[in-house]
Structure 1
Amino acid sequence: MSRNRLAFMCVPLVVAGVALASSPDTALADPPAAPQAESPETTAKMSEAFSVLHAVNQTSTEFSKMAEKRAKSDLVKDYAKSMAAANAKADEKLLRIGKQKGLKVGPLDTKNPISKSLMDRMKAEKVMLNSLEGDAFDKSYMTLVTNTQQSVIRLLEKQKTNAKDDEVKQYLGELIGIVQGRLDKSQDVMAKIYGDNV
């Protein structure tokens, strides 16, 4: 199987988020600390979603730092640099809001088949990116970013619909807007580099 086929088979994270990062100039208001009552089931699901977003932020930061060093295109390097910084900042905010709302945000549960699948995919994507150079690396990284952002938007929309806490809903809505902006930017970078060959 060629590296390019492997790259595009492994590219989409189930729910990943290079795009979860807010740009340094886009600040999200912290919700007040007083949480509204959530059912235990809703709290558990939201804790799981925040844990997934946390794992995605960490992996996205790692991949972006890798791309900042290894990308061939200056456009990709610049994009990756902004993502690495913004993802770290976004993850801090995610953890802070999770704590304020009494959510258990931590490592993914290896016993959960969905979490295990996500971890396996992230490991495979790291191996794949490490095996590529030049244009192949750039295109695979940017494709991964784009697919990840689309997956994250779907996750955020679902969680926003299920959330009972108004402040969590507002935060998730703001994240959807940020991720959509990042998706637009990543698609713009890909179009500038590859034109119609994307």
Structure 2
Amino acid sequence: MMLRLVPMSLVAVVAVLSTAAAQTASPRGPGQGNPAGTPAGTREATAGMPAPRQFNQADRTFLELATKGANAEVEFAQLAERMSRDTAVKQFAERMTREHQEANKRIATFAHNAGLPPMQGLDPDHQALHDRLSKLQGAAFDRAYVDSQIADHQVMAQLLEYEIGSGQDKELKGLAAELLPTILDHLQTADGVLATLTPTVANRR
């Protein structure tokens, strides 16, 4: 049986999103009404000055998790471009590198505007997965890489749907709505690539 190499943080993503949603919707005491999840102490806009950009807890949770996942997509794709000998896997990896790098720039801009620290390298869970993938070769690598991509894109689709439904910033919600069809297409493509990695092909390697 093939075990999916999935980071524990991705396994727990639904719980994380549920907690964030509860924090966003949790009632506050008298005089602290804040249904949009605006951080305490945020300055009000003065006359003639635009109000500062506001991101609620859902926006921030989405940006934090999406940044981790988006950075990992590019790192794993570049690894697959170097290590895979399968044409379909290499073409898929090249597409992931190209399309996720573009999306990453846009997500990073929003993260900067939200005051989140820039992401450097991989988070610990994705680094552990990257290390395990790096030790595989041939058909074993191809299947593990594509299988992990299916899991990661399922999580990313959940994140995008969460932002669309629970986020506050209109532009960020718009970006999530724009990216969702692409991520679903990536997921469908990964499913198709995995289907081509049959045992017969693997045995010839």
Q: In the alignment, what sits opposite 1:10?
A: 5
SS at match of 1:40: coil
Match of 1:179 among 183, 191, 196: 183
Q: 1:11 to 1:174 in 2, by over 3 A?
A: same
1:70 aligns with 2:83: yes
On the 8 A contact 2:74/2:97 being kept in 1, the answer is: yes
More helix by share: 1
1:54 aligns with 2:49: no
Q: In the alignment, what sits opposite 1:25?
A: none
On the 8 A contact 1:129/1:141 being kept in 2, the answer is: yes
- Report the residue type matching 1:53 in the other structure: A
User: Cα distance, 1:73 vs. partner?
Assistant: 0.6
Q: In the alignment, what sits opposite 2:198?
A: 194
TM-score (norm 1): 0.70
Distance 2:8 2:150 in 1: 10
On the 8 A contact 1:51/1:106 being kept in 2, the answer is: no
Match of 2:142 among 123, 138, 143: 138
User: Cα distance, 1:45 vs. partner?
Assistant: 3.6
Distance 2:109 2:123 in 1: 23
User: Cα distance, 1:189 vs. partner?
Assistant: 1.0
Alignment deviations for residues 60-119 of structure 1 (CA, whole Å, 9 cap, x no partner): 1111001001012111011111111221111111123444xx3123356xxxxxxxxx93
On the 8 A contact 1:67/1:80 being kept in 2, the answer is: yes
Distance 1:52 1:105 in 2: 11
Distance 1:14 1:56 in 2: 10
Distance 1:38 1:96 in 2: 21
Q: How does 1:108-147 map to 2 (within 5 A)?
A: 119-147=123-151
1:152 aligns with 2:156: yes
On the 8 A contact 1:70/1:133 being kept in 2, the answer is: yes
On the 8 A contact 1:54/1:94 being kept in 2, the answer is: yes
On the 8 A contact 2:58/2:168 being kept in 1, the answer is: no
Q: 1:105 to 1:91 in 2, by over 3 A?
A: farther
Match of 2:172 among 151, 168, 172: 168
Distance 2:149 2:195 in 1: 14
Q: How many residues end up aligned between the 2 structures?
A: 161
Distance 1:169 1:49 in 2: 10
In the alignment, structure 1 segments of 5+ residues that lack a partner are 17-36, 109-117
Q: Bigger CA drift: 41-50 or 75-84? A: 41-50
- Report the residue type matching 2:126 in the other structure: M
On the 8 A contact 2:5/2:144 being kept in 1, the answer is: no
Q: In the alignment, what sits opposite 1:106?
A: 117
On the 8 A contact 1:72/1:134 being kept in 2, the answer is: yes
Which of 1 and 2 has higher RCO (CA within 8 Å, sep 6+)?
1
On the 8 A contact 1:160/1:172 being kept in 2, the answer is: yes
Q: 1:13 to 1:194 in 2, by over 3 A?
A: farther
Distance 2:89 2:4 in 1: 21
